[in-house]
Every structure is written in C-alpha cells, then in structure tokens.
Amino acid sequence: MSKPLTPAKVQAALGSLPGWSFKRNALVKTFTFGTFREAFSFMGRVSFDAEALDHHPDWTNVYNRVAIRLNTHDAGGKVTAKDVALAQRIQKISWVG
C-alpha cells in the first residue's frame, strides 16, 4: 500500500510542476493542444510512461484538451510519490506547458 504525502510535501512537489495544482486530494492539470490529433497523440505517449510506472491517470479528452487527475487508489485516494513521479514524466512529455 502506498503512503500518502503530507500536504506540505504535496505543495513542495508542485514547485517543480508548472501549471499543476492540488484539488480534492489529487494533482490536476489541463493541457490544451492545437488539435484533437495532438491531444490524442499526447495521451498515447503518456500511456507508455503510465504503464511503465504501473500507475494510470484519471483523464478526459475533449477535442484539443486533456484534463488529468492523479491520486493513488490504494492510498485511500490521496496523493503519493507515485503521483508526483507520473506528473513529472507527463510534464516532460508535454510540448504545450
């Protein structure tokens, strides 16, 4: 079982995650791309990293937007180091911010 991060540790992690925020026990960010194809290709690329970490995002795609919400189910729906690690990888993948 994963251990939830303290609120202070979550806030510290957000310092290295531009555009991400902490809402309702999750790390969240919406990425806006130029086209649906760009948004969908971003999701495809993120899926490889999510699978490698065995940690899968809660996300939605509407046209050119991808909204991502990260928390860990086996930690009671709280943010853990796994969420921060995936957010960092997602941030490196993104070409829109």
**Per-residue model confidence as pLDDT tens digits over 13-56:** 999 999 999 999 999 999 999 999 999 999 999 999 999 999 99
Is the CB of residue 64 less than 8 Å from the CB of residue 90?
Answer: no
pTM above 0.85, yes or no: yes
> Quick check: helix, strand or coil at residue 66?
strand
Kindly report the average pLDDT of the chain as a whole number.
96
Is the CB of residue 66 less than 8 Å from the CB of residue 36?
Answer: no
Residue recorded with tokens 């940690």: 55
pLDDT at residue 18, as a whole number = 97
**CATH placement of domain 7-93:** 3.30.1360.20
What percentage of the chain has pLDDT greater than the value 90?
A: 95
Domain ranges of the chain: 7-93
**Per-residue model confidence as pLDDT tens digits over 49-91:** 999 999 999 999 999 999 999 999 989 899 999 999 999 999 9
Tokens of residue 45, six digits = 């690329």
Is the CB of residue 76 less than 8 Å from the CB of residue 5?
Answer: no
> Cα dihedral sign for 3, 78, 48, 94?
negative
